[in-house]
Structure 1
């Protein structure tokens, strides 16, 4: 019960942070996908992984990109040692594969989701997209916040790390 309350509070606080960021962007202060994620504070693991994989410049590029961004909590829910293993230099290829599996070329907004049932990731595999009871799912991950604007695309916050086959 306490864990669920803490999780709910974390999601609410993350939502306020994104609302502030989105509001600022509508007033000319555009930030790219990496900057939006880094400044939010809920994506420390994702940002560290993007740096370790050498993908910062790519995700700061022109795009547009759609990023399904797992929260720190989503990374914490992976089996023990998984993140540490992926961050090792000798596992960079695996890390790049996992991270690029979270990215789709182009800007796919929540309104577009009803029109698709899958999307090709930059990694090369497809992710499944479905709407159930008003909740958008990307494979087995719930979208907990959609359409977070960035200057070079859009972020959809997810509650689970997507793992390619």
Structure 2
């Protein structure tokens, strides 16, 4: 049973994670606040180390550090860990680069799509060219089979929404 104290502890923990993620998106530059780009924000958060390694292996660092804007549905390390054993290692091999690019670009939508906008959509076309389904349920927002667990992490070139499952394009 979830007691009020336990709920507040969990809520405070989640709020601190969101605050840390948001704070990591801003760096001082010549006295002004400057938001970091999508790749920098992800690299500053240890929960995205697998995603960052995949972005690097796919050769997408320059693209996702570029002007954008992009909306990224970013799977955490735990999301990648849900894939069958050996899948991540296989995808990171140079011979599977195109498959990795296809999967990663399936997590990216052109433009900035904030949470308030996502809930109005039923689908979106990804940079991969394939559509993802979007459903608002009592449990939150679903992107295909993934649940959005954190929304609206603002970056200099877009926005990140954290998801709990890697979404895969149809073969």
TM-score (norm: length of structure 1): 0.88
2:138 equivalent among 117, 133, 136: 133
* Residue 20 (structure 1) aligns with: 23
Question: Which string of whole-angstrom CA distances, capped at 9 and with x for unpartnered residues, describes residues 99-145 of structure 1?
Answer: 00000000000000222100000011100011101501100100000
| 8 Å CA contact retained: 2:119, 2:141 | no
Structure 1 distance, partners of 2:139, 2:166, is: 21
* Residue 143 (structure 1) aligns with: 148
| 8 Å CA contact retained: 1:14, 1:40 | no
Tell me, which stretches of 5 or more residues in structure 1 are unaligned?
A: 1-7
Provide the aligned length of Structure 1 versus Structure 2.
Answer: 156
* Residue 111 (structure 2) aligns with: 106
Structure 1 distance, partners of 2:89, 2:60, is: 18
| Superposed structure 1 runs of 4+ greater than 4 Å apart | none
Q: Say if 2:34 is the partner of 1:29.
A: yes
| Partner SS for 1:43 | helix
